[in-house]
Structure 1
């Protein structure tokens, strides 16, 4: 199966991030403004974790405290499993399933290289399948519209 590096190469290197001291309300507003369902929690160019809409729905809303008073660092996912660019997509999928997560950070030693999402994996599977199906259509002389 493909290596994670193949996904990272095709994926834009633009990541939406937020500081750990920001409020959960600020995080939610930023997600809406940037049309994303997650933000990387970064401080001094260091990856600290991820906060997602799911985290807000399951953690922040269960606490009886205003979203204006809750901090990102108290709701974010941290201590996530990590992968390297040389890991396989299959290993990434297994870790995501094992830890029930949709996002997994990619590191090269201590250097943050990017983030892989379940959507990235799905796109990779579809991309690899399109290559297979395109080849079959060319060989058979038929094309699907």
Structure 2
């Protein structure tokens, strides 16, 4: 089974877009829209202090009628971030995401953020693994 670190190293888009806790929610929304991502790790002095997502915006801003122009990211970010280590298996990552209802998992290696896995990344990888397994089984059945 592949690991979180292996998947991060093979991702086509390896840039991890981040934002500072004092940035405005509007800044975060612009960055997410510009980079076509659904969440941003929040870093202060290169340390992960939270994660802000479209879900945070919808639930903590829109539904409460707050201003995106004046609200800092730190007011709506999720501070209790669930992380994974590079050596953790994709099965472990999927279990965490399912159990905790998460869409994004920061990967921390050597004390720093090295990547961000999305539920889409994991599903895509598992579908590819299953397709490969099916191909090998078909070849085995045919005697190839």
Do they superpose with TM above 0.5?
Answer: yes
The aligned counterpart of 2:22 is 21
Aligned with 2:62: secondary structure?
helix
> For residue 75 of structure 2, what is the aligned residue in structure 1?
74
Relative contact order higher in (CA < 8 Å, ≥ 6 apart): 2
**More displaced, 5-14 or 116-125?**
5-14
Once the two structures are TM-superposed, the CA of residue 136 in structure 1 deviates from its matched residue by: 4.3
Q: CA deviation at 1:133?
A: 3.0
CA distance in 2 between partners of 1:78 and 1:68 (Å): 21
Scaled by the length of structure 1, the TM-score of the pair is 0.85
- Give the gaps of 5 or more residues in structure 1: none
1:127 and 1:48 map into 2 onto residues whose CA distance is 33
For structure 1, which segment, 86-95 or 3-12, has the greater mean C-alpha deviation from structure 2 after superposition?
Answer: 3-12
State the TM-score, normalized to the length of structure 2.
0.85
Partner of 1:3: 3
The answer to whether the aligner puts 1:45 opposite 2:46 as a matched pair is yes
- 3-state SS in 2 of match to 1:82: coil
Runs of 4+ in 1 over 6 A off after TM superposition: none
Unmatched segments (≥5 aa) in structure 2: none
Residue 86 (structure 2) aligns with: 85
Find the residue that maps to 1:120 and give its secondary structure: helix
Q: Residues 105-116 of structure 1: matches in 2 within 5 Å?
A: 105-116=106-117
In 2, Cα distance between the equivalents of 1:112 and 1:31?
18
RMSD between aligned alpha carbons? Answer: 1.9
